[in-house]
Amino acid sequence: MTGAEVALFGIAAVIIGYSKTSVGGLAVVAVMIFASVMPARASTAAILMVLIVGDLFAIWHYRRNCDVALIRGLLPGVLPGLVLGSVFLAVVDDTLLKRAIGALLLAMVLLQLLVNSRREQIAERAHGRLPALAAGVGSGFATMTANAAGAVMTLYLVAKQVDKVRFVGTSAWFFFLINCVKVPFSVGLGLLEWTDVWRALALTPAVAVGAWLGVHTIRRISQRGFEVVVLLASAISATVLLLA
């Protein structure tokens, strides 16, 4: 591994820690970094272990800010989404997967824009089991194939008009649960190796730095302004992967 690759992994780890304790959409930049440094298929498992480290920091800090009822409504759709994502990973080659990740990230950007432009209309349709089921399936598929389910979760929670702290706390616990469920899927696909675990442990200090920054900035920044930055970062990441 070159010094440049080590630096990129470190930057990605800081971004993951920050996104886990602030606004999750920024994690797509880390997804892009991993998919650019490693083969796309291998990157999905490698970044998964780092995401779980970030989840642990997040659930510790937001352990009292989780809406269990929201998570309970989403879980029934997650497993079918994970299965669909696993099938997709099993049948596509590395080049197609990298472009698929880019297309998926771009779709997530469009979903975010939809949320920002039609919050009231979406809020009126966010109640009931069907929206929760759709969000669960979408989150399962997006996270299994590209570790990019943050925007799906954002769409659902913003539509439900969840306040910022409860938003982050609920997201933290939800993604911790589904990331743990993804581990056996990744093992079964032959993607997860012990080197991914050791890499995640080595990157833990960088994740901790990012998590600390996220905790100390979430209440001091303009949510709207930060969302614009996240959308731009997501769009750039998606474009890079589509053209790779």
pLDDT at 192: 87
CA distances from 104 to 144, 160, 171 (A): 12, 23, 20
Secondary structure of the chain in HEC code, one letter for each residue: CCHHHHHHHHHHHHHHHHHHHCCHHHHHHHHHHHHHHCCHHHHHHHHHHHHHHHHHHHHHHCCCCCCHHHHHHHHHHHHHHHHHHHHHHHHCCHHHHHHHHHHHHHHHHHHHHHHHHCHHHHHHCCCCHHHHHHHHHHHHHHHHHHCCCHHHHHHHHHHCCCCHHHHHHHHHHHHHHHHHHHHHHHHHCCCCCHHHHHHHHHCHHHHHHHHHHHHHHCCCCCHHHHHHHHHHHHHHHHHHHHHC
pLDDT at 132: 80
> How far is Cα 44 from Cα 27, in angstroms, rounded to an integer?
13
Q: What is the mean pLDDT of each run of 10 residues along the chain (244 residues)?
A: 84 92 77 83 87 94 85 87 86 76 72 64 60 82 75 71 80 88 86 91 96 86 68 66 64
What is the domain partition of the chain in residue ranges? Answer: 3-243
Instruction: Flag whether the pTM goes above 0.85.
Output: no
pLDDT at 204: 97
